[in-house]
Structure 1
Amino acid sequence: MPYCDVGTNQATDDAHLNNEIKIFYRTYGHGPTKVLLIIGLAGTHDSWGPQIKGLTGTVLPNEDDSGDADWSSPDQRCGDDNESGGGIEVCAFDNRGMGRSSIPTKKSAYTTKIMAKDAIALLDHLGWKKAHVFGHSMGAMIACKLAAMVPHRVLSLALLNVTGGGFECFPKLNRQTFSIAYRFFKAKTPELRAAVDLDTHYSKEYLEEYVGNEKRRTILYQQYVKGISTTGMQSNYGFEGQVNACWRHKMTRCEIESIKSGGFLVSVIHGRFDVIAQIYYARRLAERLYPMARMLDIFGGHLVSHERTEQVNQALLDLIKASEVKMKPKDWTNLPKKTTWWTEKRTLCLSPNVQTGGSVSIKCCILEKLHVFLIFLFSLLILVFDHGRKLLKSTVNPARVASSPS
C-alpha cells in the first residue's frame, strides 16, 4: 500500500515501522489534470468516493488497476473536453491522526499549517508540480493554508463546508446542536456514533426521504454502522489533535492576499443547512477572497458532497474548466464588490430590510456581538467539560484501549 513519508519523502509498505509521520494515500484515474482531495476531521480518503467517481469515472485505486481499463472511454474517464485534451488523475489521502496514516500523540503535532505541509510533501512525492486542490471542512482549512504557502502550485481551489476556524467552528446555539453535542460525547459504540453522525452530516429532509420502501436514514445508518465497525473508532489522540488544529486555525490578511496573488479561481461550496460549519462564515471567507471566489449555496447539510453529489461534482468540473480556459475573475465571481468593514457594518445596521419592508435597527449589531459572546461561552463550557472528563478518567485509572483507525 502506498505511503508518503513526510519527513524523508520515502514510500514504505508499513506506516508504523518508525517514528516518522507517514501519510497513506491512493490515486485514481489517469490524465494530465491533477486533483488533490483533502478530507475533513475524522474522515478518511474514501469519504471522497462520490467525487472520485464523478471526476475520474472509477473508484478503483490505480495500484489495484490491472492496466486493462480503457481510459479513452467516456465511461472510464472524465474531462475529455478539457482544453488539455486528457483525463483527470485524483489523489485522496488520510490526514495524520486518522485512518492508516500515522497518529502523533502530541496535540502540538496537529495544526492546519503542519497538515498543509503533509499535503505539499505528498505533491512532491507524486511528482505533481501543480494541482487543483479541493478540501472539505477541516480539509478546506488545510487547503487554504496550502494555497497561501505555495500559491504557485495551485491551479484552482475548492472549499467545501469551510469556516475560518476558531470560534467559527462552533455551530448555532439551539436545541438541535446541543442534542448532537451531548450525544456525540456519549457515543462510544459504532451504533451510537452512526446515529449522531447522520444528524451531523445530512439535512433532516434528506434523511426522511424514502428510497423504495425504506427511509434513507435507515439505509445510511446500516452503512455507517458497518463502516465504523470495520475500520474502528478514531483514536483519542487523532480526534483531539484534529480538533486542536481546527480550533487554532486562522487565515491572516497576509495569507488571504497570498492566495489572491496566485491568480487561480476559488469556489466556496456550502450546504445551507450545515449544523457544523455555519454558512455565514463560509460566505465571509469567500468575500475576503473577492474577486477570485464564487459562492455556491446548495440545499444540503455538512456532507453536501454526498447529499447533492451531482451538483457538487458539476461545480468542481466547472471550476477545473474555468481554470483551464483562464477565465477572468470578474467573469467567475458572483459576489458583490468588497466593501470596507465600516461600510459593511453601517449598511447592515442602518439599511432598510428589503424582505420585510421594515427598518433594521442597531439591534442587529448588538445581537451579533451577543451571539459571538454566547459562542465563546459555549466553547469555554466544552473546554471545562473536557478537562473534567480527563480528570475523572485519571482518578479512576481505566484500562487503556488500543487505538484503531476510523
Structure 2
Amino acid sequence: MSFAANGEIRICYDTIGYPEDPPLLLIAGLGNQLVTWQDEFCASLIDRGFFVIRFDNRDCGLSSVVTDRDGYTLHDMAGDALAVLDALGVARVHLFGHSLGGMIAQVMSIEHPDRVASMTVLSTSTGNWDHGTPSDEALAAISRPVTEDREESFERDVANRRVWASPSWFDEDLIREQFRVAYDRAFTPGGSARQYLAILQAPEREEALRTLNVPTLVMHGTLDPLIAMDGGQRLASLVPGAQFMEIEGLAHDLPIQVWQQVISAITSHVSQNAS
C-alpha cells in the first residue's frame, strides 16, 4: 500500500497491473474500502488491458479519519482522487465510480475535464433528489444511528446490504466474509455518516453536467432501491452524448454475476474513447 497527500489528508491506494496500460481509477461507494474492489474483479480488468488504481476514500480504510466539525465536501473527495493520480504521475485517467464514487467521478469530470479520458458510473445520480429517490426501507436503513461498537456496526452493515442487494444474487455468507476482511483491515466508526453528510450537503450538478465534455457511460440496475434507476437515466439525459445501460435484476451492489457485463461495458466505452 502507498499513500498520497491532499494537504493534511493521507489517502491510501494501490495499483494492480502494468503502468504502460490505460489507467482506470476505481472510486468506491459510501463507506467502502479499496478491498471492496475484489482482486478477482481487478484481475478481470487487467486481462482487458487496464492498469487498475484503487484507493480508500477519506474517512475509510487506511486513509485519514476526518473529525473536523466543519466536515468536507464532494469537491474535497475529488481532490483526494486527484492526489492519487498526481502521486502516480498519471496525467489522464478513465474513471469507474459506484454510487458515491460515481458522484465523485462527476465532480472530477466537471472540475478537471483535462484529467479525465472517460467516465463510467454505476448506481449514481446528479444530486437532484427529485430523481433517484430511495425507497422508504432503503432510506430508513442508511439513516440508522451510527454505533462505535464493532460487532453492532458489523451487523448493521450486513442488515443494510440485505436491503439493497440484488435479490436473486444475495449471498449472506459471502457478504459476511467480505465485511470481515474489511473490518479486520480498518474500522472507522462515523466515517460513513460523514461521507453521507457530504452527499446530502452537495449542490446538485445538473447545470454543469449539461455542458460536460467527457465521454460518459451511465449504468444502473433495474432493482436499485437506494438510488432509483431514474436517477441514472436523468444523469445520462443531461450529459451530451452520454450512453445509458440498464442492468436487469441488479440492485445497489456489484455481485459477481454481473461482473463480466459491467467489465465488457467499461472496456467498450474506453476503447471508443482511447487517448
Scaled by the length of structure 1, what TM-score is found?
A: 0.61
- Say if 1:107 and 1:29 are closer, same or farther in 2 by CA, change over 3 A: farther
Match of 2:242 in 1: 293
2:132·2:232 contact (CA, 8 Å) conserved in 1?
no
Does residue 199 of structure 1 match 2:162?
A: yes
1:301·1:307 contact (CA, 8 Å) conserved in 2?
no
Deviation at 1:170, TM superposition (A): 4.8
2:210·2:238 contact (CA, 8 Å) conserved in 1?
no
What's the CA shift string for 1:335-360, capped at 9, x where partnerless?
A: xxxxxxxxxxxxxxxxxxxxxxxxxx
Q: Specify which structure has the higher proportion of helix.
A: 1
Match of 1:4 in 2: 4
Letter of the 1:151 partner, please give it: P
Deviation at 1:252, TM superposition (A): 3.6
Letter of the 1:196 partner, please give it: A
Match of 2:196 in 1: 243
- Say if 1:246 and 1:178 are closer, same or farther in 2 by CA, change over 3 A: closer
Match of 1:231 in 2: 185
Question: Which runs of 5 or more structure 1 residues have no equivalent in the other structure?
Answer: 8-19, 57-76, 80-87, 208-215, 327-406
2:128·2:205 contact (CA, 8 Å) conserved in 1?
no
Question: Which runs of 5 or more structure 2 residues have no equivalent in the other structure?
Answer: none
Does residue 43 of structure 1 match 2:5?
A: no
1:111·1:245 contact (CA, 8 Å) conserved in 2?
yes
1:107·1:241 contact (CA, 8 Å) conserved in 2?
no
Letter of the 2:231 partner, please give it: Y
- Say if 1:124 and 1:224 are closer, same or farther in 2 by CA, change over 3 A: closer
Does residue 117 of structure 1 match 2:79?
A: yes
Match of 1:375 in 2: none
Q: Which moved more, 1:25-34 or 1:191-200?
A: 191-200
2:95 to 109, 128, 133: 133
Work out the CA distance in 2 between the residues paired with 1:286 and 1:107: 35
1:255 to 205, 208, 211: 208
What's the CA shift string for 1:233-260, capped at 9, x where partnerless?
A: 4321x22320111112234455214422
Q: Specify which structure has the higher proportion of strand.
A: 2
What's the CA shift string for 1:118-168, capped at 9, x where partnerless?
A: 111221111111110111111110100000111112111011110123645
Deviation at 1:314, TM superposition (A): 0.9
SS at match of 1:108: coil
Letter of the 2:72 partner, please give it: Y
Work out the CA distance in 1 between the residues paired with 2:68 and 2:4: 20
Does residue 177 of structure 1 match 2:138?
A: yes
Scaled by the length of structure 2, what TM-score is found?
A: 0.87
Relative contact order (C-alpha < 8 Å, sep 6+): which is higher? 2
Q: Which has the larger radius of gyration?
A: 1
SS at match of 2:37: helix
1:53 to 43, 56, 72: 43
Work out the CA distance in 1 between the residues paired with 2:82 and 2:186: 28
Deviation at 1:319, TM superposition (A): 1.0
Identity %: 26
Deviation at 1:116, TM superposition (A): 0.8
